[in-house]
Structure 1
Amino acid sequence: MRKLITTFAILIAVLVAGMTALVLLVNPNDFKHYMVQQVKKRSGYQLTLKGDLRWHVWPRLSILSGPIVLTAPGASQPAVTADNMRLDVELLPLLSHQLHISKVLVMHAVIQATPDAAAKITPAGPIAPDDNSSFAPSLGHWSLDIAHLSVANSLLIWQDPQGEQLNFRNVDLSLHQDSSRVGRYHLSTALTRNQQTFSIDFDGQMDARHYPYKLAFSVDRGSYQLQGVSLPEQGVKGETTFSAQWSPMSNTFDLNDFSLHANDSDFTGEASGVLAPALQLNLKLHSQNANFDQLLLSGGSQVSQQVAAQTSSPERVDVQTRARTPVVVEKNNRGFIDWLNQSEITSQLTADQAIWHGVTVKGLALNAHNAMGMMSLNTLSGKVDDGHFAIQGKVDFRPDLATVDLHTDLQHIPLQVVQPLLQIPPVLRGDVSLQGDFTGQGLRGKDILTQWQGHSTIDLIGLDIPQMNVQQMVIDAVTRASNRVNSDPTLHPVIPDMRGNFSLGNGTLQLTRLEGENAQVSLNALGEINFAQHQLDITFNLLTRGWKGDPGMIALLANQPIPLRFYGPWNHLQYSLSVDRLLKNNLKSRLQQWLKDNDKAKHPSS
């Protein structure tokens, strides 16, 4: 053991002595001109090394530099500036005065991918495909022959085709490659924009054998997080994997085997397109569970509603509503809309289950094409409870307030879903079906009611008004006004299914026809709802059945509709039910008829 320790000590001493001698005998500044020459030869870029080079011998033999500047030919701004650079070199080649670099580490660099930092040399002749020796400096691409490259704690400034600069901070890149330019990489960085921060941490493989014509890479392990305004409080985070190919000279890309987990949502699919000068994207995604409330909506989008009805007098109904209701499209999504206005996107999205504003949608299907802000909505469909919906048409996002031209088909959609989305008091229960065409401006719930216009058929199925029972109100009014009839106590009044038509315009919904009938009642309604002023004026005409008592009165009630009118502001609703007048008019009519019949009996015609 003592001999082994002694042997190791001697080897270490010899190694230290050799390296010390090497440091004393070899001046690293002798390589400065050589490195500048090689960079110029291989890439066309001009490397400037400020200050002297110096040795660093622990934990590995390295050459340290001062500030460096790397400039593309003809560029007005440097492509890379850095505080310092470290070159790990191999010891044995130095003995023959050769510089073999095993690793390059650049610290605190500023990398500019902007037009001012791009090469501006007229392209030379044609380049043979896959010819590594023929990389023209005018292309501004690197021929990387270094086994290991690291960029730490750096900044990347990238300018998109529209001229906006994006700053990727805390860039940490580590790349290992073999002689054929196939290797592995690790990348982490963060982008802050519009008070939102997007950070990534990726590990994967890269194939640069055919670069700059094609670059293939994959993300074998990727995590990300998106936080900031207009996002859920906990942000959006998850993991992703995919494989991709990018053609730098044409700016085209293909994305395959894509898998993304975001909070409690998942997506798989593929994408392809062109990055510049304007984004063109073909996207095809499928999700087993897509919770858009956790991906798109801020914490204030949760629904909190309370409806209370108070009757202060027999002639008045007060309805008070306190609600924090969601909107169909958040007003502060201008950044997303601007992105649509600058892109061409064809998207196909299917989801086994999706959650949106607390509503669970089964079998969601979206097929749309966006051309610089003009979106053709070919399909937007899904199932909600036992019903389903389908929407088609066009949406123009280019104006400040989006314009729409849509055909809607709703079948048996619960009113408990529709009312909160449209920001109206949840006073009705049941299902609604409608088919109609609408045009207008805006996508928020309030905009739909006040800025849209159109016509539609409507069906109300299983309708219930928990705060008031219109049939019972009529029955009670009749029995109070006359003791000649009574209602059947075994009957439980049920509002019949109703069908009709309505028109929407200038913030007012006009009921042109709404009628229904069952074994207990025939019912029709006319009137209007003013969504802009939160007022309504609707009259229900009821023919009730199941009466007992005077046959004459029963016949009257079976043939004479009783009007029940609701009118006034939503939070101070009133009603009018004039049964007394109806009975008096009927008594007067019957008396006049009796006088006519009596007069005819006394004076028969000849």
Structure 2
Amino acid sequence: MNKTLKYGLIFVGALLVVFLALIALVAATFNPNDYKPLIVKLVQEKKQRTLKLEGDIKLTFFPRIGADLGKLSLSDHGSDKEFAAIDSARVSLALLPLLKKQLVVDRIRIDGVRARLVRYPDGSTSIDDLLKKEEEESEQFKFDIKGVSITRAAFSFDDRMAERKLDISGLEFESGRLANNQPGKIDLKFTLQGDKPKINAQVALASGLLFDIEAKAVTLDGLTVSLAGKRGDGGMEISLTSPKFELGPERVAGKLDLTAKMTQAKGNLNLALSVPALTGKGNVFRAETFTLDVNGQQGENIIKSRLASPFSANLDTHQFSLDKLVASFDLSGPAMAKALDVNLGGVARIDLDKQDAHLDLSGRLDESKLKAKLGISHFDAPAYDFDIVIDQLDIDRYLPPGRPEDKARQPEKPLDFSFLKNLNANGRLSIGALKVANIKSSNIKLNVKADGGNLNVAPISANFYQGTLNGAISLHDAGTPRVALKQNLVGVSVGPMLKDVANVDMLEGHGSVALDVSGQGTTVSAMKKALQGSAALNLQNGALKGVNIAGAIRNAKAKFGSLQGESTQAANAADKTDFSELKASFQINNGVAHNEDLSAKSPLLRLAGNGDVNIGESSMNYLAKATVVASLEGQGGKELSALKGMTVPVRITGPFTGLKYSLDFNAMASEAVKQKVEQKKEEIKSRLGEELKSGLKGLFK
């Protein structure tokens, strides 16, 4: 053997012996636990946090350098309250690569991790001090980790700014090799629980992993993320996949697909999002197109919708844009006579820093043209604003015809105004022509404002049954739902209006109607029975339908000698009592409208009266008094001239759908006798007066 080689081997062997002896000496004499107070002090001085090292630190030197840590915990900044803790941790690494500033870790094992993160009302967090960059950054250190294992980890997030909490428990993490430009893999699973929204779900993530330290880039291969559990009272399943996704300061690229299924007692919703090609640089990226399909069932109704648009985002400014938005929406169901079909196009802008979103849309709602400007601000407590213009809208075309008897059999649904509790909205709505519940109007303009559990629609203006409508309506969620309505109708045709609004055919005429009412109740029926307020009518050139009072009086005259008692007849659509003017005011209490000042005029008759209209029961009990006046023209003609001054009581009773009219001829006859007696008295007085005058003249001759 060459002497040089021989001495060289001896030298290397000697060095190895010395090195091993040195390691043995260090292992025998060095106790890392002696430095625990120093470590605690440094952490307190540098970070103002309290570090507790409860267990012993154990070092190993063969076959690899390693350290076992017992229990340790770290406090919040400037506090003794625990921020994070672990039950145990073990790290083992290769020695020789350290001399080359390379960190080759065999395995990192951490067990029993727990941490608590708080976001305060001002937006600061409990880890802001840990996220600050050091003034001097150390030289980049190369590392190579064969695997990381984290077991029994738990994290909590207390968001006091948004007033919600989120908990992660049972977290398990396993990785393959983690080294620069070397393929690896990661697997993660945990339980997620939250209160706003209420959620309890199992989350799993798996992906291949390749990172480039110098480029500060990461590539995910075969990424799959799944979430399954409950949200509120329903279930949910969400899956996100990407065959390859690159993320770095110089390049963002990849494909994303997301599917979600939401289930509830009343229905389900399926969502599918596809981004075929997402590209970008740094924190700015875009997609030439993305599509979102939402399909589902709510009760018996079926929903189908699609949204597609180019997409751009800036994560530095937190701004997102949908530049050429195309959306379609289809709603159908057995309770709808016709499916609702909406097709819209436009743009959308979202700014997360300002917490607002704006949409500018136009399109069609079936045959109707629609334009809408929509806005949302303060995402945690949304405030909505809108400006919507529709040329025509027939809501009845989407509702089943439904027979009245069918509706009567169905139990009445309670009113639910709870949606008003957190509703904050402000907007305008304009509709060229509207039909709803068979009520027709045009040129509708209204303003809407909702906050604090109140919804106010004011002012409202519209062309309404040949006249105009102006007023306001308000809804209040005050435990028991409450509605207030104030309307002034001018120049309206009340006949067609009553037919369409209340299915009542009992009055004709043009004029004004004033209404100021409010009601409170858990159902529509209860609210009608609780109505309070006032109403007034002032009509011209109309008629009371269902009875011909003049005709009844004419018939009574023909039979006058023998007619006794009352004559009762059901309302007859062919009969009516004309008037040239009708005025009446009503005071409404507990759903009953009371009138004392009816005044109606016609060339032949004058009507007065008093009584009640029971709105809650849809019935009437009213006494009208018809008086024949001097004029001989008009309904009834000359045949009634002999009854001049006679008053006939007419009592109107029964439900609106079956009114009955009773004419009290006894009262009429009694009135006639009284008139004749009065006439005789006048004749006698006149005759006695003449005779007395004649007698007096004779005395003075």
**Structure 1, residues 20-67: CA drift from partner, whole Å, max 9, x if none?**
xxxxxxxxxxxx989999xxxxxxx999898999xxxxxxxxx99998
SS of 2:529 mapped into structure 1: helix
2:314 counterpart residue number: 209
* In structure 2, C-alpha distance between the alignment counterparts of 1:416 and 1:444, rounded to whole Å: 28
Identify if the C-alpha distance between structure 1 residues 583 and 79 changes in structure 2 by more than 3 Å, giving closer, same or farther: same
Does residue 435 of the first structure (1) align with residue 514 of the second (2)? yes
2:677 counterpart residue number: 588
Cα shift at 1:73: 14
Please identify which structure carries the higher strand content. 2
Identify if the C-alpha distance between structure 1 residues 150 and 529 changes in structure 2 by more than 3 Å, giving closer, same or farther: closer
Aligned residue identity for 1:148: K
1:200 counterpart residue number: 305
Aligned residues: 480
Contact residue 103 and residue 148 of structure 1 kept, 8 A: no
* In structure 2, C-alpha distance between the alignment counterparts of 1:568 and 1:187, rounded to whole Å: 58
SS of 2:512 mapped into structure 1: strand
Aligned residue identity for 1:346: N
| Aligned pair partner of 2:352 in 242, 248, 251 | 248
SS of 1:179 mapped into structure 2: strand
Question: Bigger CA drift: 520-529 or 193-202?
Answer: 193-202
SS of 1:481 mapped into structure 2: coil
SS of 1:342 mapped into structure 2: coil
Contact residue 380 and residue 391 of structure 1 kept, 8 A: yes
SS of 2:469 mapped into structure 1: strand
| Aligned pair partner of 2:662 in 558, 569, 575 | 575
SS of 1:343 mapped into structure 2: coil
Contact residue 505 and residue 545 of structure 2 kept, 8 A: no
Identify if the C-alpha distance between structure 1 residues 597 and 353 changes in structure 2 by more than 3 Å, giving closer, same or farther: same
* In structure 1, C-alpha distance between the alignment counterparts of 2:633 and 2:493, rounded to whole Å: 33
1:299 counterpart residue number: 400
Cα shift at 1:373: 2.1
Does residue 187 of the first structure (1) align with residue 272 of the second (2)? no
1:453 counterpart residue number: 532
2:374 counterpart residue number: 271
- Alignment map for 1:415-434 (pairs within 5 Å): 415-419=494-498, 423=502, 425-431=504-510, 433-434=512-513
Identify if the C-alpha distance between structure 1 residues 323 and 234 changes in structure 2 by more than 3 Å, giving closer, same or farther: closer
**Structure 1, residues 262-290: CA drift from partner, whole Å, max 9, x if none?**
34444212111225322200111111112
Cα shift at 1:512: 2.3
- Alignment map for 1:537-552 (pairs within 5 Å): 537-544=622-629, 545-546=631-632
Does residue 391 of the first structure (1) align with residue 474 of the second (2)? no
SS of 1:591 mapped into structure 2: helix
Identify if the C-alpha distance between structure 1 residues 346 and 457 changes in structure 2 by more than 3 Å, giving closer, same or farther: same
2:600 counterpart residue number: 516
Does residue 222 of the first structure (1) align with residue 317 of the second (2)? no
SS of 2:676 mapped into structure 1: helix
Cα shift at 1:508: 1.7
**Structure 1, residues 115-174: CA drift from partner, whole Å, max 9, x if none?**
xxxxxxxxxxxxxxxxx989xxxxxxxx992332223x444799xxxxx99975342423
* In structure 2, C-alpha distance between the alignment counterparts of 1:413 and 1:419, rounded to whole Å: 11
Question: Bigger CA drift: 494-503 or 394-403?
Answer: 394-403
2:548 counterpart residue number: 469
Cα shift at 1:71: 9.0
Cα shift at 1:245: 1.6
Aligned residue identity for 1:426: D
Q: Which runs of 5+ in 2 are unaligned?
A: 1-143, 150-167, 178-182, 212-216, 233-246, 563-575, 697-701
2:621 counterpart residue number: 536
SS of 2:479 mapped into structure 1: coil
Contact residue 251 and residue 279 of structure 2 kept, 8 A: no
**Structure 1, residues 540-570: CA drift from partner, whole Å, max 9, x if none?**
323243279xxx9977644444433334555
Contact residue 408 and residue 435 of structure 1 kept, 8 A: yes
Identify if the C-alpha distance between structure 1 residues 294 and 86 changes in structure 2 by more than 3 Å, giving closer, same or farther: farther
* In structure 2, C-alpha distance between the alignment counterparts of 1:218 and 1:36, rounded to whole Å: 44
- Alignment map for 1:28-177 (pairs within 5 Å): 69=189, 81=204, 106=224, 110=228, 145-151=252-258, 153-155=259-261, 168-177=269-278
* In structure 1, C-alpha distance between the alignment counterparts of 2:486 and 2:465, rounded to whole Å: 22
Contact residue 535 and residue 568 of structure 1 kept, 8 A: yes
* In structure 1, C-alpha distance between the alignment counterparts of 2:316 and 2:230, rounded to whole Å: 20
Identify if the C-alpha distance between structure 1 residues 457 and 427 changes in structure 2 by more than 3 Å, giving closer, same or farther: closer
| Aligned pair partner of 1:599 in 676, 684, 688 | 688
Contact residue 273 and residue 290 of structure 2 kept, 8 A: no
CA RMSD of aligned residues (A): 5.0
**Structure 1, residues 509-536: CA drift from partner, whole Å, max 9, x if none?**
2222222334343333332223345231
2:341 counterpart residue number: 237
Aligned residue identity for 2:679: R
> TM-score scaled to structure 1, two decimals?
0.65
Does residue 365 of the first structure (1) align with residue 445 of the second (2)? yes
2:649 counterpart residue number: 563
Contact residue 397 and residue 403 of structure 1 kept, 8 A: no
* In structure 1, C-alpha distance between the alignment counterparts of 2:610 and 2:633, rounded to whole Å: 26
Cα shift at 1:345: 0.4
Identify if the C-alpha distance between structure 1 residues 348 and 107 changes in structure 2 by more than 3 Å, giving closer, same or farther: same
Q: Which runs of 5+ in 1 are unaligned?
A: 1-31, 38-44, 54-62, 94-98, 115-131, 135-142, 159-163, 306-321, 484-491
SS of 1:454 mapped into structure 2: strand
Identify if the C-alpha distance between structure 1 residues 333 and 285 changes in structure 2 by more than 3 Å, giving closer, same or farther: farther
Cα shift at 1:403: 3.5
Does residue 413 of the first structure (1) align with residue 492 of the second (2)? yes
SS of 1:519 mapped into structure 2: coil
Aligned residue identity for 1:341: K
Identify if the C-alpha distance between structure 1 residues 433 and 73 changes in structure 2 by more than 3 Å, giving closer, same or farther: closer
Identify if the C-alpha distance between structure 1 residues 77 and 466 changes in structure 2 by more than 3 Å, giving closer, same or farther: closer
Contact residue 200 and residue 231 of structure 2 kept, 8 A: no
Cα shift at 1:378: 1.9
1:137 counterpart residue number: none
Cα shift at 1:342: 1.3
1:481 counterpart residue number: 560
Contact residue 388 and residue 430 of structure 2 kept, 8 A: yes
2:482 counterpart residue number: 402
Aligned residue identity for 1:539: A
Cα shift at 1:593: 2.6
**Structure 1, residues 385-437: CA drift from partner, whole Å, max 9, x if none?**
31121122543134332232x32101233435543566464333444521242
Aligned residue identity for 1:475: R
> TM-score scaled to structure 2, two decimals?
0.57
Question: Bigger CA drift: 378-387 or 577-586?
Answer: 577-586
Aligned residue identity for 1:222: A
Contact residue 208 and residue 216 of structure 1 kept, 8 A: yes
SS of 1:277 mapped into structure 2: coil
* In structure 2, C-alpha distance between the alignment counterparts of 1:72 and 1:569, rounded to whole Å: 60
Contact residue 36 and residue 47 of structure 1 kept, 8 A: no
Contact residue 584 and residue 599 of structure 2 kept, 8 A: yes
